Structure 1
Amino acid sequence: MLILAVDSSTSVGAVCLYKEEVIAEYNLNLDKTHSQRLMDQIVGIIDDAYLECSALEAIAVGVGPGSFTGIRIGLATAKSLAHALDIPVVGISTLEALANNLLHITEPICPMLDARRQRVYTAVYQEKDGLGLKEPVVAEDIKEVDSFLEELSKRFKQKIFFIGPGAEEYRELIEDRLGTQAEFSLENNLVQGKSLAQIGSIKLKTGGGDKLMDLKPNYLKRSQAERDWQVSKGDF
């Protein structure tokens, strides 16, 4: 199955063509907005692989958490392509994709994305079923960093591998709270298209696709506009 994987929920525009193995992959961590570059990336990778859009058989897309605008751009693009080509689509958590950058790690993996105000989007993943995929052992949530690290220190006694921009942002605090229990990924710290594609391939093979109209963004928190609207109503 030829899969196009797309994610724009972070600063990285991740695009990958995958069919049992990576055919081509572009991960661009640039200042240009995703609205300026995502479609160019998709068209470019298909052209460079000497393929046509009509050859695509499925799409895997990052649904967040992360940038609200980036998530919407990626989802709208993926859903439009899936609808036009009449092919299946599967949504992938950004945190799950980050955790699966570390396929060789058997210890708990804690992906983190900065959610501002000393908070992170986070979870803990670990391989459980022998398929190679990391599965959540601590559910995705938005957490205050210090209290979450205390929670981790009580729950886990083995090494914990931290990954993602949020882990880098709060590295000093993590090391202070967890000491030698904390390990950090330096080479695979950003969302990668191949991780999305590999997860998507496994999920699609096991019937884990999503209905197009049911595929929703995974924000984990309300947008600033929604919070401002709630404040204006007096509903805190």
Structure 2
Amino acid sequence: MKVLAIDTSNQAMSIAVIEDSKIIGELTTNIKRNHSERLMPAIDELMNDVHWNPSELDRIVVAKGPGSYTGLRIGVTIAKTLVWTLKIELVGISSLKMLAGNCEMSPHYLVPLFDARRKNIYTGLYQWQNGELIQVEADTHISAEKWAEYLSKKEGTFELIGEDRFLYKDTFEHYLTNRVYEAPLKDHLPKAGVLGLLGLHEEPVDAHTFTPDYLKLAEAEENWRKEHPDQLEEAYVEKI
């Protein structure tokens, strides 16, 4: 199976091509530039580098969120467009699970996190069990303090993963004291190669109904929905 994996859920942009269980190529950048301008040229570059034709692809795996509202829409829209055009499979994987997947076979509970502003985070809880990455607690949008306090009631040790961990390191250390660790530096950026491997054995989804998992609406949309409680999300999308 030939797979293209796409992640634009945060500042970093990562794409990879996987054949069966082997990462053939991967491209990751971590700069503040518009994913909408860079994603398709990057895909073209990587596909050319590995001498693949788009018609050879069997599946697209995309990071489905949580993360940047705009970034997620860009990645998911391009993934769905490729799926429709090429008539191939689509799989969505949690952006947080992808990050947790960087820490292969870690003995700790894995705590991937993204900053969600106002002292809130997007996070979840994962663990390697018998060679498989298992979701222990569902992905959520929560205050960092409440999450750290909740984790403090669980037994075990915890590993923080993500570029934004330093924003909340003191909070986690306060509640978890000597039971919290930071992942190695190489593991804090999302990697589309990991994303693609996680998506190899997942069931494909219906591309027509697939949407990102925002966990929390953008502030502009939240305000709009309060003012238009009887209208659907599609009406908001049309308005903007």
Q: What is the TM-score when the length of structure 1 is the normalising length?
A: 0.92
Offset at residue 166 of structure 1 (A)? 3.0
Query: What residue number does 2:234 align with?
Result: none
Offset at residue 141 of structure 1 (A)? 0.7
Deviation above 4 Å: which 4+ runs of structure 1? none
- Tell me if the contact between 1:159 and 1:182 (Cα under 8 Å) persists in the aligned partners: yes
Q: Quick one: which amino acid aligns to residue 73 of structure 2?
A: R
Matches within 5 A, 1:141-160: 141-155=140-154, 157-160=155-158
Instruction: Give the length in aligned residue pairs.
Output: 228
Q: Give 3-state SS (helix, strand or coil) of 1:148's partner.
A: helix
Q: Which runs of 5+ in 2 are unaligned?
A: 231-240
- Tell me if the contact between 2:105 and 2:128 (Cα under 8 Å) persists in the aligned partners: no
Question: Distance in 2 between the 1:82 and 1:49 partners?
Answer: 20
Q: Which runs of 5+ in 1 are unaligned?
A: none
Question: Distance in 2 between the 1:79 and 1:4 partners?
Answer: 12
Question: Distance in 2 between the 1:230 and 1:217 partners?
Answer: 18
Offset at residue 226 of structure 1 (A)? 1.8
Offset at residue 234 of structure 1 (A)? 9.2
Q: Give 3-state SS (helix, strand or coil) of 1:202's partner.
A: coil
Q: 1:227 aligns with which of 198, 222, 240?
A: 222
Q: State the superposition RMSD in angstroms.
A: 1.5
Query: What residue number does 2:235 align with?
Result: none
Offset at residue 57 of structure 1 (A)? 1.1
- Write the deviation string for residues 136-177 of structure 1: whole angstroms up to 9, x where unpaired: 11111101111110110002x221111012322211222222
| Identity of matched residues, % | 32
Query: What residue number does 1:173 align with?
Result: 171
Q: What is the TM-score when the length of structure 2 is the normalising length?
A: 0.91
Question: Distance in 2 between the 1:58 and 1:233 partners?
Answer: 38
Question: Distance in 2 between the 1:199 and 1:148 partners?
Answer: 25
Query: What residue number does 1:218 align with?
Result: 213
- Tell me if the contact between 1:60 and 1:89 (Cα under 8 Å) persists in the aligned partners: yes
Q: Quick one: which amino acid aligns to residue 7 of structure 1?
A: D
Matches within 5 A, 1:1-236: 1-19=1-19, 20-128=21-129, 130=130, 132-155=131-154, 157-185=155-183, 186-203=185-202, 208-232=203-227
- Tell me if the contact between 2:16 and 2:23 (Cα under 8 Å) persists in the aligned partners: yes
- Write the deviation string for residues 116-145 of structure 1: whole angstroms up to 9, x where unpaired: 0000001100123x3x33121111110111
Question: Distance in 1 between the 2:196 and 2:217 partners?
Answer: 28
- Tell me if the contact between 2:123 and 2:140 (Cα under 8 Å) persists in the aligned partners: yes
Question: Distance in 1 between the 2:187 and 2:211 partners?
Answer: 27
Question: Distance in 2 between the 1:234 and 1:201 partners?
Answer: 39
Q: Quick one: which amino acid aligns to residue 50 of structure 1?
A: H
